[in-house]
């Protein structure tokens, strides 16, 4: 545990408050994507992000057991969900997040100190080591991602979308919408989920909200690698957002946004 924290503190000195210069940045960061029910990594490496793809239909622990890992506030929140599926998503995601953070911090899951930014983003509270995390869910799947960089993750099950052009005009920036309209129709679904997941991942990494959807542009053309092309609002500012995407075998689109690295590489382990 001591060495874990030491690595983390040494690394965070250069990167604290996002002040790392391009020269300090690690050239590439690996997102180690594992499927449930593989066990947690025992050590969180400074040069990787651990991302856990969780099958919500077959979680590694029952939701009853995971409910017991939540704080009383979280348990009350869970009980307020009227839709059972939404309640399960929250309980499983939050319970396994607490398990994972508890493992890295060497403390009981219930005592991991979580608090919320004004936008609603849950973060580690107080003087905890600078571990960052983010959670996402879609129909049947969740991802919990943990690392030493500000990060955001989004997963969306790819499905037919009616009025995709209308949705793009409504939710994407003007520039993204123009880029989208130039694409041939067969690319539209892929471009929509590329844009959607990448935009959500950036917003979530920055701890912002959907109110900022028009304030930055991502590459929506799925023939090109994902990237952030422009940022127009300081709320979304960073030392540089890097994006990477993955399509699961269950046809869910996944995007990660991470701050302060030159390159992000997703390394899936097992049949994902
Ligand atoms: C809340 C929001 C940040 C993500 O919502 P979402 O895509 O529905 O949900 P996801 O499953 O990806 O993420 C939810 C999790 O992110 C975390 N989260 C909540 N607010 C967050 C914020 N402001 N920033 C980062 N993470 C946040 C929480 O852990 C939450 O899970 P929990 O409630 O179980 O703890 C926000 O972007 C939103 O409301 N999106 C609506 C979707 C939309 O209209 N998208 C248009 C895209 S083109």
What is the band of 126 on the pLDDT scale with cuts at 50, 70, 90? confident
pLDDT of the residue at 44: 81
What is the band of 192 on the pLDDT scale with cuts at 50, 70, 90? very high
> How far apart are alpha carbons 83 and 102 in whole angstroms?
28
Residue nearest to atom 33 of ligand 1 (CA): 90
- Residue 138 CA: which ligand 1 atom is closest? 11
Which contiguous run of DSSP H or E holds residue 198?
helix 188-206
| 203, pLDDT greater than 80 | yes
> How far apart are alpha carbons 111 and 102 in whole angstroms?
8
> How far apart are alpha carbons 28 and 43 in whole angstroms?
19
pLDDT of the residue at 3: 33
Section 182-192 average pLDDT = 97
Beta-bridged to residue 132, according to DSSP, are 147
> How far apart are alpha carbons 44 and 148 in whole angstroms?
9
Among 204, 205, 215, 252, say which to mutate for ligand 1: greatest number of ligand atoms within 8 Å of CB. Answer: 204
pLDDT of the residue at 61: 93
What is the band of 272 on the pLDDT scale with cuts at 50, 70, 90? confident
Lowest-confidence range among 45-49, 112-116, 210-214?
45-49
| 10, pLDDT greater than 50 | no
pLDDT of the residue at 38: 53
> How far apart are alpha carbons 168 and 192 in whole angstroms?
7
pLDDT of the residue at 271: 79
Distance 59 CA to ligand 1 centre (A): 21
pLDDT tens profile 167-182: 999 999 999 999 999 9
pLDDT of the residue at 134: 98
Ligand 1: residues whose CB is within 6 Å?
90, 93-94, 119-122, 134-137, 152, 154, 171, 196, 199-200, 203-204, 207, 209-210, 213
Distance 86 CA to ligand 1 centre (A): 13
| 6, pLDDT greater than 80 | no
- Of 132, 135, 141, whose CA–CA distance to 247 is shortest? 141
Residue with tokens 């009980």: 79
> How far apart are alpha carbons 181 and 175 in whole angstroms?
10
pTM flag (> 0.85): yes
Where would I find the H helices in 17-163?
63-67, 72-80, 84-105
| CATH numbers and ranges of domains, the chain | 2-269 (3.90.470.20)
Please give the sequence-ordered ranges of beta strands (E in DSSP) within the chain, or none if there are none: 28-35, 48-55, 114-116, 122-124, 132-138, 141-147, 151-157, 216-218, 228-231, 241-247, 252-259, 263-269
pLDDT of the residue at 9: 31
| 22, pLDDT greater than 60 | no
| 224, pLDDT greater than 90 | yes
25-39 in b/e burial notation, b at 16+ Cβ within 10 A? bbeebbbbbbbbeee
> How far apart are alpha carbons 46 and 39 in whole angstroms?
19
Q: What percent of the chain is helix, strand and coil (3-state, nearest 5)?
A: 40, 25, 35
- Of 33, 97, 6, 54, whose CA–CA distance to 264 is shortest? 33
């Amino acid at each position: 545990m001591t060495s874990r924290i030491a690595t983390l503190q040494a690394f965070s000195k250069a990167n604290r408050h996002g002040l790392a210069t391009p020269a300090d940045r690690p050239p590439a960061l690996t997102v180690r994507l594992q499927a449930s029910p593989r066990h947690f990594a025992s050590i969180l490496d400074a040069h990787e992000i651990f991302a856990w793809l969780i099958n919500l239909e077959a979680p590694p622990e029952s939701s009853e057991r995971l409910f017991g890992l939540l704080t009383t506030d979280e348990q009350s929140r869970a009980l307020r969900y009227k839709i059972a599926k939404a309640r399960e998503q929250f309980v499983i995601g939050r319970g396994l997040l607490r398990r994972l953070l508890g493992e890295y911090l060497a403390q009981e899951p219930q005592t991991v100190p979580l608090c919320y930014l004004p936008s609603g983003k849950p973060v580690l509270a107080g003087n905890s080591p600078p571990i960052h995390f983010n959670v996402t869910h879609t129909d049947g799947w969740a991802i919990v991602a943990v690392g030493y960089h500000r990060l955001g993750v989004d997963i969306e099950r790819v499905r037919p979308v009616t009025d995709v052009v209308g949705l793009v005009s409504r939710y994407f920036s003007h520039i993204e919408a123009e880029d989208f309209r130039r694409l041939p129709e067969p690319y539209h679904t892929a471009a929509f989920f590329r844009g959607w997941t990448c935009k959500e991942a950036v917003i979530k990494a920055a701890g912002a909200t959907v109110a900022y959807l028009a304030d930055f542009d991502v590459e929506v053309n799925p023939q090109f690698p994902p990237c952030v092309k422009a940022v127009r609002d300081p709320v979304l500012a960073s030392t540089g957002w890097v994006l990477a995407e993955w399509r699961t075998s269950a046809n869910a689109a996944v995007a990660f946004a991470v701050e302060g690295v030159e390159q992000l590489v997703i390394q899936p382990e097992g049949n994902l």
